[in-house]
């Protein structure tokens, strides 16, 4: 009998474990934990260093130490950037190792914009909605996973049958500064056989979801400064270049009237047959609070799911010229557009700046400046990886539902740190939903989804310690 078989013979059965986890949740313990964590204003955008340290030292480390983890605060390799917490629970060097991740930082509270009776730093429950900053992104999600691990550790009398490492960062909302450098410097210490974490939304609130990576992101700015000051539009209109008009036309050289991208060198590769099959039948925008998709927008020949998860998109995030709120009769001196591209694996993102520069020059916009302000790669675990069907089966067992498989999240996460730098197969099981208002006032977690997620993760963490889990060192690979 193997070590995992011996362990399986002595622990509480999976069904009983789920019952115990449900009872723990229903007794209000998870709600109490989350309330304490939400009240810490960990806004990395505003550099609240004391709050960031408090969250790690007073809320994360004690909870993890109670579960048998050794915790160490790690300084950020980049000076002045937020710290990390590495928690390690090593049962045996001969056992496989799971690496997980979460981020304790949140975006600005936007206190004054919340609905009356709500606020970012107090957990308020109204029916199924649990309001508070970080409930969905990401305190609620990593708290669910920690609670599930605690349930399994207790049920298995202190032994999981595998090792666990958990990396918590406090700067994800400002681009994860230092995360990639940390993973490079600490690659030996972060060595593992599987990466599994939770962030982002499910496809729908009712649909347990597994995604295998994320689209990449590139933020860039177009700017044209024609002169030092504005000039009267009557006295000078018709003889002075209007920078707003030029920048607007530069944008239309990048994308058409209905959002289809016109930069040939940045077009994605053809959609892989397995990816297309995985996305077939997936409906986008059917949630109660979801906007209706526009079938004319973007690559109209593709399905909504393909446009969102398997294609490249350009967006204009903000534009400015003159004084839009109080316009005057003058030709503005300058115009700016802040833009973004989300892209799938196979896109030459490292050459993004030169490609844009060459495209604009070829279309007569040599005077328009281009600045790439941030760029991270796209990642996607191969759909053929053994962990994919294994995980989907356990999700179905735990929830009684057919889970949704997304080849990659439409949004972006720092998954490249784990998939490329550490070379791990990456699994993401989100516990939020698209209308959760993350990054906005009235952010919330659905209590029903949190409860289902706790039971699902408890079942999954339990199953990782049984024979049949496809543990093997295997790097991620783009399909």
Say whether both 210 and 223 belong to one domain: no
pLDDT at 8: 38
- Say if residues 205 and 433 touch (Cβ distance below 8 Å): yes
The answer to whether residue 476 sits within a structural domain is no
The answer to whether residue 157 sits within a structural domain is yes
Say whether both 15 and 113 belong to one domain: yes
Q: 378 or 477, which is more confident?
A: 378
The answer to whether residue 207 sits within a structural domain is yes
End position of a domain, from candidates 347, 376, 405? 376
pLDDT at 13: 64
Q: Tens digits of per-residue pLDDT, 26-82?
A: 999 999 999 999 999 999 988 789 999 999 999 999 999 999 999 999 999 999 999
What CA–CA distance (Å, rounded) separates 274 from 380? 12
Say whether both 318 and 388 belong to one domain: no
At 474, is the pLDDT very low, low, confident or very high (cuts 50, 70, 90)? very low
Q: Tens digits of per-residue pLDDT, 456-469?
A: 999 999 999 998 89
Range 5-20 average pLDDT: 63
Which CATH number does the domain housing residue 195 bear? 3.40.630.10
Q: Helical H runs in 290-399? A: 304-309, 352-362, 387-399
Say whether both 60 and 167 belong to one domain: yes
* Best CA proximity match to 155, nearest among 30, 57, 14, 251: 14
Range 356-377 average pLDDT: 97
The answer to whether residue 333 sits within a structural domain is yes
Domain count, the chain: 2
What percentage of the chain reaches a pLDDT higher than 90?
Answer: 91
The answer to whether residue 291 sits within a structural domain is no
267 Cβ neighbours under 8 A, 6+ residues apart:
261, 312
What CA–CA distance (Å, rounded) separates 265 from 356? 9
Say whether both 203 and 236 belong to one domain: no
Say whether both 165 and 265 belong to one domain: no
For residue 221, report the phi and psi dihedrals to the nearest 5 degrees. -125, 135
Q: 3 or 193, which is more confident?
A: 193
* Best CA proximity match to 280, nearest among 162, 377, 404: 404
pLDDT at 140: 98
Does residue 86 have a pLDDT over 60?
yes
- Say if residues 71 and 61 touch (Cβ distance below 8 Å): yes
The answer to whether residue 191 sits within a structural domain is yes
pLDDT at 4: 38
Say whether both 366 and 395 belong to one domain: no
Range 122-127 average pLDDT: 98
Q: Tens digits of per-residue pLDDT, 240-299?
A: 999 999 999 999 999 999 999 999 999 999 999 999 999 998 999 888 778 899 989 999
Q: Which two tokens stand for residue 282?
A: 């997936």
Say whether both 310 and 436 belong to one domain: no
Q: Which two tokens stand for residue 173?
A: 């909302």
pLDDT at 473: 61
Say whether both 128 and 195 belong to one domain: yes
The answer to whether residue 479 sits within a structural domain is no
End position of a domain, from candidates 351, 376, 401? 376
The answer to whether residue 20 sits within a structural domain is yes
Does residue 479 have a pLDDT over 50?
no
At 160, is the pLDDT very low, low, confident or very high (cuts 50, 70, 90)? very high
Q: Tens digits of per-residue pLDDT, 311-365?
A: 999 999 999 999 999 999 999 999 999 999 999 999 999 999 999 999 999 999 9
Q: Which domain holds residue 322?
A: 216-286+298-376
Q: Report the predicted TM-score, pTM, of the whole model to 2 decimal places.
A: 0.91
Say whether both 103 and 121 belong to one domain: yes
- Say if residues 54 and 40 touch (Cβ distance below 8 Å): yes
pLDDT at 123: 98
Say whether both 109 and 9 belong to one domain: yes
103 Cβ neighbours under 8 A, 6+ residues apart:
138, 142, 168, 169, 170, 171, 172, 173, 176, 199
At 110, is the pLDDT very low, low, confident or very high (cuts 50, 70, 90)? very high
Say whether both 188 and 276 belong to one domain: no
Range 400-413 average pLDDT: 95
Which CATH number does the domain housing residue 252 bear? 3.30.70.360
pLDDT at 478: 43
């Amino acid at each position: 009998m193997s070590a995992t078989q011996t362990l399986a013979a002595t622990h509480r059965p999976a069904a009983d474990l789920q019952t115990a986890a449900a009872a723990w949740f229903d007794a209000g313990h998870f709600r109490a934990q989350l309330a304490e964590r939400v009240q810490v204003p960990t806004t990395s955008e505003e550099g609240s260093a004391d709050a960031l340290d408090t969250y790690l030292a007073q809320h994360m480390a004690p909870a993890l130490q109670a579960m048998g983890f050794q915790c160490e605060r790690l300084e950020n390799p980049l000076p002045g950037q937020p710290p990390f917490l590495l928690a390690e629970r090593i049962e045996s060097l001969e056992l496989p190792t799971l690496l997980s991740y979460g981020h304790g930082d949140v975006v600005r509270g936007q206190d004054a914009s919340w609905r009356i009776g709500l606020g970012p730093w107090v957990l308020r429950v109204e029916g199924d909605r649990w309001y508070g900053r970080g409930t969905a992104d990401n305190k609620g999600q990593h708290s669910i996973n920690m609670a599930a691990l605690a349930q399994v550790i207790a049920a298995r009398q202190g032994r999981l049958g595998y090792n666990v490492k958990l990396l918590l960062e406090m700067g994800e909302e400002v681009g994860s500064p230092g995360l990639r450098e940390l993973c490079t410097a600490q690659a030996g210490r972060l060595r593992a056989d599987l990466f599994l974490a939770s962030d982002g939304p499910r496809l729908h609130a009712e649909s347990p979801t597994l995604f295998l990576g994320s689209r990449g992101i590139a933020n860039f700015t177009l700017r044209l400064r024609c002169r030092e000051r504005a000039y009267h539009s009557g006295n000078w209109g018709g003889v002075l270049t209007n920078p707003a008009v030029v920048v607007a036309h530069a944008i239309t050289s990048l994308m058409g009237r209905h959002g289809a991208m016109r930069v040939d060198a940045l077009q994605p590769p053809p959609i892989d047959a397995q990816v297309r099959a995985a996305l077939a039948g997936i409906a986008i925008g059917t949630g109660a609070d979801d906007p209706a998709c526009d079938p004319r927008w973007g690559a109209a020949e593709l399905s909504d799911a393909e446009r969102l998860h398997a294609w490249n998109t350009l967006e204009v995030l903000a534009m400015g010229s003159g004084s839009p709120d109080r316009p005057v009769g003058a030709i503005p001196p300058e115009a700016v557009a802040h833009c973004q591209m989300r892209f799938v694996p196979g896109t030459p993102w490292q050459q993004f700046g030169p490609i844009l520069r060459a495209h604009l020059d070829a279309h007569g916009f040599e005077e328009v400046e281009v600045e790439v302000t941030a760029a991270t790669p796209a990642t996607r675990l191969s759909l053929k990886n053994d962990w994919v069907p294994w995980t989907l089966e356990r999700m179905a067992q735990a929830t009684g539902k057919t889970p949704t498989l997304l080849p990659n999240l439409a949004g972006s996460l720092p998954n490249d740190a784990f998939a490329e730098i550490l070379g791990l197969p990456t699994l993401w099981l989100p516990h939020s939903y698209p209308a959760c208002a993350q990054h906005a006032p009235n952010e919330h977690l659905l209590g029903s989804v949190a409860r289902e997620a706790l039971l699902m993760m408890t079942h999954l963490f339990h199953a990782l310690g049984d024979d049949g889990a496809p543990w093997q060192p295997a790097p991620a690979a783009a399909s």
